[in-house]
Amino acid sequence: MRSRTNTTLGLMAGLFLAATVSGSSEGTIADSIFATDSLSDSVAVAAGQSSSDPDLYPLTPERYEKLASYSRLTNIWRFVEFFVGIATLAIILFSGLSARFRNWASKLKYKFFVVWGVLALVLIADYLLNLPLSIYRSYIVELNYEFMNQTFMQWWGEDLLALFLGVLIGIIPAWFFYWLVNQSRKWWFWFSMGAIPFLIFFIVIAPVIIMPLFNEYVPLEDKQLESKLLSLADRVGIDQPDVFQVDASKQTTKVNAMVTGLLGSKRIVLYDNLIAKFTHDEILYVMGHEMGHYVLNHMWQGLGAAVLFLMLTLWITSRTIHVIINRFKSRFRFDRLGDYASLPLVLIFVSVIMFVGQPITNGFSRWMEVKADAYGMDITDVSGEVAATAFDKLSAYNLSDPDPHPVAEFWFYDHPALKKRMAFVRNYER
């Protein structure tokens, strides 16, 4: 899923669960959707040796220049994406398009399908208006910086699949939202409470049903590494997780991994490029960090924080959005929030509050990342230098700025800067 499509999907699939999509991380050890490179060096990896590309790691002066350039573009794009996203929704709203979408969809027999029709038309219009910029940022830029491993049609096919999933999944929270708005003055509270089971269900089905739509998940080929990971999982009380490797190198050359799912959907996921470029000890630390999130209940804490932030966001929306509706009702062609044509306006309000609130949500996320970094050191036998090397490789392979401007880190980073994390693990006392 790409940046703009992923933002739209995240907004709708969590119905405005913005804490999960606000701000990108430059310091993630493993928490995003894609990863990278091939298994051509499997013999070296099986022996526990890194197959690092000498042109990429250690970081050369030329590679550092590319890192600085990519980081500048990423920081600029955060603002571009936000303001263009608001402008796109405003066009749909002020042009009367959303009202036309409502009129067209109202010909459907049942209210549920009317909401679905408006949702689909708004998301498709938003997608088409943003497509040129999305192609530039998510395909051309990634291609220019040698991350992209797909043809344009392959990339676009997955982008359209993400759009389809947004339309398919988004109807549940969208219908629930408008039903509550038309039933209760405290819709913001009841929607936030109703989001909890929806999110839990989404967390459970995503790794099993949704993510395999984009990549092939197969049992880990390196059985020596699998044994080490299962032993580590058993030591920390993660009972019988599935261990998969993913062919993420078909999409990108970035590295990543994760521990995901709940109940019977628990799985340890390693991207093939991480396996190819990191030693066993480095991978053990990465996965020790990820297991820390699981064992320390960060998923549940993050869920609680997201619901609280969602409740605050929707409460602020409920207290302020009517002023805008009354002011521009003739332009909008609707005069109440419960009108389905208000969807773009709701998304604008939520997006703005999300953007302003990023320091809060990202600050909480950085706190959890520090805890997970420490947990990874506590449960593995790797040295601080090995753990620091894992972060250093992450910076080199993903062009992640290890030392961003403090304001950028404060506002946009949901992980601490890599330079801080490297210093932390080097000086950590178990």
Q: Is 324 helix (H, G, I), strand (E, B) or coil?
A: helix
> Helices 343-379 and 384-398, interaxial angle, to 10°?
150
As a whole-number percent, the residues of the chain with pLDDT over 90 amount to 74
As a whole-number percent, the residues of the chain with pLDDT over 70 amount to 86
Terminal-residue alpha carbon distance, the chain: 38
In the predicted structure, residue 32 carries a pLDDT above the cut 60? no
In terms of DSSP H, where are the helices of 236-279?
A: 272-277
Residue count of the chain: 430
Sole residue written with tokens 């929270």: 173
| Whole-number pLDDT of residue 316 | 97
Range 324-331 contact pairs with CB under 8 angstroms and sequence separation of 24 or more: 328/94, 331/94, 331/96
In the predicted structure, residue 324 carries a pLDDT above the cut 80? yes
Q: What's at 280, amino acid-wise?
A: H
Please give the Cα distance from 376 to 361 (Å, whole number).
23
pLDDT digits (tens, 9 = 90+) for 289-301: 999 998 999 988 9
DSSP string, 151-205: -HHHHHHHHHHHHHHHHHHHHHHHHHHHHHHTT-TTHHHHHHHHHHHHHHHHHHH
Sign of CA dihedral 25, 29, 31, 35: positive
| Whole-number pLDDT of residue 39 | 28
Higher pLDDT, 360 or 267: 360
386 within 8 A of 281, measured Cβ to Cβ: yes
Rg (Cα) of the chain, in Å, rounded? 22
Which whole-number Å values give the CA distances from 244 to 208, 218, 258, in the listed order? Answer: 12, 5, 10
> Helices 343-379 and 298-332, interaxial angle, to 10°?
170
Q: Copy the structure tokens of residue 25.
A: 């991380």
Q: With bands split at pLDDT 50, 70 and 90, how would you rate the model's confidence at 54?
A: low
* 107 CB neighbour count, 10 Å cutoff: 9
> Helices 384-398 and 280-295, interaxial angle, to 10°?
90
Residues 107-124: what's their mean pLDDT?
95
Which whole-number Å values give the CA distances from 321 to 84, 91, 324, 347, 383, in the listed order? Answer: 21, 17, 5, 11, 53
Range 38-42 contact pairs with CB under 8 angstroms and sequence separation of 24 or more: 38/249, 38/272, 38/273, 38/276, 39/221, 39/249, 39/272, 39/275, 39/276, 40/276, 41/276, 42/221, 42/222, 42/275, 42/276
pLDDT digits (tens, 9 = 90+) for 71-90: 999 999 999 999 999 999 99
> How big, in percent rounded to 5, are the helix, strand and coil portions of the chain?
70, 5, 25
In the predicted structure, residue 25 carries a pLDDT above the cut 90? no
| Whole-number pLDDT of residue 397 | 94
| Whole-number pLDDT of residue 263 | 66
Q: Is 49 helix (H, G, I), strand (E, B) or coil?
A: coil
Residues 414-422: what's their mean pLDDT?
95
Please give the Cα distance from 321 to 421 (Å, whole number).
41
DSSP string, 380-421: S---HHHHHHHHHHHHHHHT--SS--HHHHHHH-SS--HHHH
- Among 251, 22, 9, smallest CA distance to 127 is for 9
Sole residue written with tokens 């990863």: 35
Half-sphere exposure of 211 (CA within 13 A, CB side): 25
Instruction: Tell me the pairing of strands 242-246 and 267-271.
Output: parallel
What is the model's pTM? 0.86
